[in-house]
Amino acid sequence: MYKLIDGKEVAAAVRENIKAEVEKLSQEGKSTGLAVIIVGNNPASRVYVNNKKKGCEQVGIRSFEYALGEDTSTEELLSLIEKLNRDSEVDGILCQLPLPGQIDEQKVLNAISPDKDVDAFHPVNTGHIMIGDHSFLPCTPAGIIEMLKYYDIAVEGKECVVIGRSNIVGKPMMMLLLEQNGTVTICHSRTADLKSVTKRADILVSAVGKAGFVTADMVKEGAVVIDVGMNRNAEGKLCGDVDFENVKEKCSYITPVPGGVGPMTITMLLNNTLTASKNHKK
C-alpha cells in the first residue's frame, strides 16, 4: 500500500518555522524583503509571481514587485538589477523565467548579486553546491530533500535515479542526493534503455516535462517516486510526468501533482530569502 507525500502539509510545517524566524529578525530590527521581477505578459509567469508574493505575505516577508514591459531590453533589466543589488531593503532578487526572447537570460541571472540570488542560479552558487558549501539551494531540489526528511525516507545507500539534467532541477537534484549519500544516476533524452536504469531506483525523481512519461513498467516494486513534472493533459488538467493511477500501487511513497513538489518550491524560495536576510544582518 503506497503512502502519499503531501507537499502542502510539509510546506505548511516549513513555512511556520520561516514565519517564526522572520518575526524574530523583525523584532531585532531587521525586516526581510524580496524583489520580484516579471517581464512581459506571460500568464503562467503572472500566476507564479502572484503565488510567490502570497507566500511572502504568509510568512511576513515584504515583497516588492517590478513589472516590466514585453519589449524591455537586456540593458534595462541589468540596470534594475544593479539598483536592487545595492538596495539594503532587498535581501533576495527573483527574476521570473522565462524572459522574452530579446533578453540575454544568462547575462541577467549572472548579474544578480550571489548573496541575493535566492533562486541559486548564479554560477557562484552553483559552484558552492558542487563543493557542498552552500548558503542557497535551488528551490525545487531542496524542497524534495525536505519532503524526504519529513517522511523519514533515508537516502543514504539508496539507488537514486533522476530523469532530466536541467540546470534548475536535474543537475542540482543529483548533487543534493549525492550529498545525502545516495548512489545517483542521472538520465536524459540520450540515455540508452532508460527503463533498465529507472527499474533499479529505490528513489526515482522525474523532471522531464511530459505527461504520462513514467509508466508502471519503469518502476521498481516499493520505490519512492517523486514527480517534478508540471504538464497539462489532453483535458487541460495539471498533471505530472508520472502515470499516477498505474504507478502508485508499486510505490512505497509517491508525490501527487498538484500538491506534491510544487508547494515546496515556493517554500524553499522563502527559506532562501530568510537565509539571505540573516546573512545580511551579520
Chain contacts with ligand NAP (rule: CB under 6 A): 140, 163-166, 168-170, 187-191, 194, 207-209, 228-231, 261-262, 265
Does 52 participate in catalysis according to the annotation? yes
The three-class DSSP label of residue 44 is helix
Residues contacting 237, CB < 8 A, separation 6+: none
Q: Please, which residue, 20 or 44, has the CB nearer to ligand NAP? A: 44
**Closer CB to ligand NAP, 188 or 237, in the complex:** 188
Least distance from ligand NAP to the Cβ atom of residue 46, Å: 16
**What is d(CA 70, CA 41) in angstroms, rounded to the nearest whole number?**
7
Which CB, 115 or 273, lies closer to ligand NAP?
273
Q: CA distances (Å), 202 to each of 27, 244, 247, in order?
A: 45, 17, 14
Task: Answer yes or no: 119 catalytic.
Answer: yes
| 106 is known as an active-site residue | no
- What's the rounded Cα separation, in Å, for the pair 76 and 104? 11
Q: How far apart are the first and last CA of the chain?
A: 48
Q: Residue 138 has which C-alpha cell? A: 535551488
Between 6 and 87, CB nearer to ligand NAP = 6
CB of 208 to ligand NAP, least distance (A): 4
Q: Minimum Å distance from CB 97 to ligand NAP? A: 9
Least Å distance between CB 47 and ligand NAP? 12
Which one is catalytic: 91, 115, 117, 119?
119
SS3 at position 137 = coil
**Residue from 91, 96, 116, 202 carrying the catalytic annotation:** 96
The runs of H, that is alpha helices, within the chain are: 7-27, 43-59, 74-86, 105-111, 123-130, 139-150, 170-179, 194-198, 244-247, 261-281
Q: Which residues does the annotation mark as catalytic?
A: 52, 96, 119
